[in-house]
Amino acid sequence: MDIAVLGGTGNLGYGLAARMAAAGHRVFIGSRDAQRAQAAAAALNELTSTQNLIGRTNARAIEQAEIVIVAVPAAAQAETLKAVAAAVGQRVVVDATVSLNPKDVTSTLPPEEGSCALRARALLPEGSRVVAAFHTLSGKLLADLSKEVSADALVCGDHADAKGTVSVLCESMGMKAIDVGPLSRSSTLEQLTAMIIGLNKRYRRAHVGVHFTGL
Ligand X SMILES: NC(=O)c1ccc[n+]([C@@H]2O[C@H](COP(=O)([O-])OP(=O)(O)OC[C@H]3O[C@@H](n4cnc5c(N)ncnc54)[C@H](OP(=O)(O)O)[C@@H]3O)[C@@H](O)[C@H]2O)c1
Interface with ligand X by CB under 6 A: which residues? 7, 9-13, 31-33, 36, 71-74, 76, 80, 96-98, 100, 135, 137-139, 193
Q: Which is nearer to ligand X, 86 or 109 (CB)?
A: 109
Cβ at position 195, least distance to ligand X in Å: 12
Q: Which is nearer to ligand X, 49 or 174 (CB)?
A: 174
Q: Which is nearer to ligand X, 54 or 72 (CB)?
A: 72
Cβ at position 115, least distance to ligand X in Å: 11
Cβ at position 69, least distance to ligand X in Å: 10
| Residues forming beta bridges with residue 193, ordered by sequence position | none
Q: Which is nearer to ligand X, 92 or 116 (CB)?
A: 116
Cβ at position 80, least distance to ligand X in Å: 6
Cβ at position 59, least distance to ligand X in Å: 11
Burial of 188 per CB tally in 10 Å (0-12, 13-18, 19+) = middle
Q: Which is nearer to ligand X, 102 or 125 (CB)?
A: 102
Is the CB of residue 79 less than 8 Å from the CB of residue 16? no
Is the CB of residue 191 less than 8 Å from the CB of residue 165? no
**H, E, C per residue of the chain:** CEEEEECCCCHHHHHHHHHHHHCCCEEEEEECCHHHHHHHHHHHHHHHCCCCEEEEEHHHHCCCCCEEEECCCHHHHHHHHHHHHHHHCCCEEEECCCCEECCEEEEECCCCCCCHHHHHHHHCCCCCEEEEECCCCCHHHHHCCCCCCCCEEEEEECCHHHHHHHHHHHHHCCCEEEEEECHHHHHHHHHHHHHHHHHHHHCCCCCCCCCCCCC
Q: Which is nearer to ligand X, 10 or 110 (CB)?
A: 10
Cβ at position 116, least distance to ligand X in Å: 7
The residue number with the shortest CB distance to ligand X is 10
